[in-house]
Amino acid sequence: MANKVTISTDITQTLTAAVEEVKHDKLFLLMDETTHKLCLPVVKDIPCLKEAIHIIIGATDTHKTLETLAKVWTELGNGGGTRHSLMVNLGGGMVTDLGGFAASTFKRGIKYINVPTTLLSMVDASVGGKTGINFNGLKNEVGVFNAPEIVILDTEFLKTLDQENILSGYAEMLKHGLISNDKNFAELLNFNLNEVDYIHLGEMVGTSVAIKERIVEEDPLEHGIRKALNLGHTAGHAFESWALSRKPYLHGYAVAWGLICELYLSCIKTGFPTDKMRQAVRFIKENYGTLPITCDDYEELYAYMTHDKKNTAGIINFTLLGNIGDIRINQTATKEEIFEMLDFFREG
């Protein structure tokens, strides 16, 4: 399940070597409308991509659907794709998730390479072999575990991102810092997000990916310790689903807000130090603002949490912390505690 992650400083050389390494008959390049415009120029002159058949899909999570998946399958078929074809997914998490799922199922599975272009997809979506689409109003409801052949991380693409997308990816890095150690977390809290040092950010991405890789290797199918990566996501996914029909927010913002909630639960249930929680909450509120929920929304948010894939028999499952790096998986909370957590999120 572990995939090979390469941190690149020369995308031409790295991608050429990767495409040559994976034997194939036809080559396909999947992008969304945004990466076609902003990221294709970075790679379009690479000789190995000259032969590639381009597949372009709609941008943003609203297109992470069965219809888009069918379009990709259709274009793979129309382009003469066989079981020996190769697909390169150039884009953010939506492209790598949907592209990975399309590749994993077309002709019962073709090989694919991920070239994540957003900070979020570099540190989260492209590593670990999770693929999927949204379905029936629920995020990532249908998918498979199937790792890409190679993941290429090149910080050159980060220069194409706006501040919101940098922040969105940074939330997953905060999560990795929290499940790692005090030193990593302190470095993240001290990084200046207003004047981004891309070289330093690239080094931190390397650290962040290594934390995730270590956990995924230990538990590829999420039976145990891989649930550490769900920190912030039970509440975060509920926020994201709630916002979808109102004003959608980027995934990382929802995760950052989910971290506030789940660090609060960690304080009251597993003894996480209050001062560290306050430090994290302050950083998140300063950089991410807040979500305008009221107590009238609690029942709806609670209902979204009960639908979470991480639950067993309808019991809401949280990953909490006893301290930074002290991971407590399979924690539960009562409805009352969850409402208290939402009170804290609004007022804390």
What are the pLDDT digits (tens) for 86-135? 999 999 989 999 999 999 999 999 999 999 999 998 998 667 788 999 99
Mean pLDDT, residues 292-303: 96
* pLDDT tens per residue, range 57-83: 999 889 999 999 999 999 999 999 999
CATH topology for the 4-160 domain: Rossmann fold (3.40.50)
Q: Is pLDDT above 80 for 206? A: yes
pLDDT above 70 as % of the chain: 98
CATH topology for the 170-192+226-347 domain: Dehydroquinate synthase-like, alpha domain (1.20.1090)
| 176 Cβ neighbours under 8 A, 6+ residues apart | 123, 184, 207, 208, 211, 212
Sign of the CA dihedral 248, 32, 304, 326?
negative
Q: Do domains 4-160 and 170-192+226-347 have the same CATH topology?
A: no
The pLDDT of residue 85 is 98
Q: Is pLDDT above 80 for 311? A: no
Give me the amino acid identity at 4: K
Domain boundaries, the chain: 4-160, 170-192+226-347
Q: Is pLDDT above 80 for 272? A: yes
The pLDDT of residue 162 is 92
Mean pLDDT, residues 152-171: 92
What phi, psi does 265 have (nearest 5°)? -60, -40
HSE, CB side, 13 Å, CA atoms: give it for residue 175.
35
DSSP 160: G
The overall average pLDDT reported for the chain is: 93
- Whose tokens are 């004003």? That residue is 247
Residues 123-138 as b/e (b if ≥16 CB within 10 A, e otherwise) read bbbbbbbbbbbbeeee
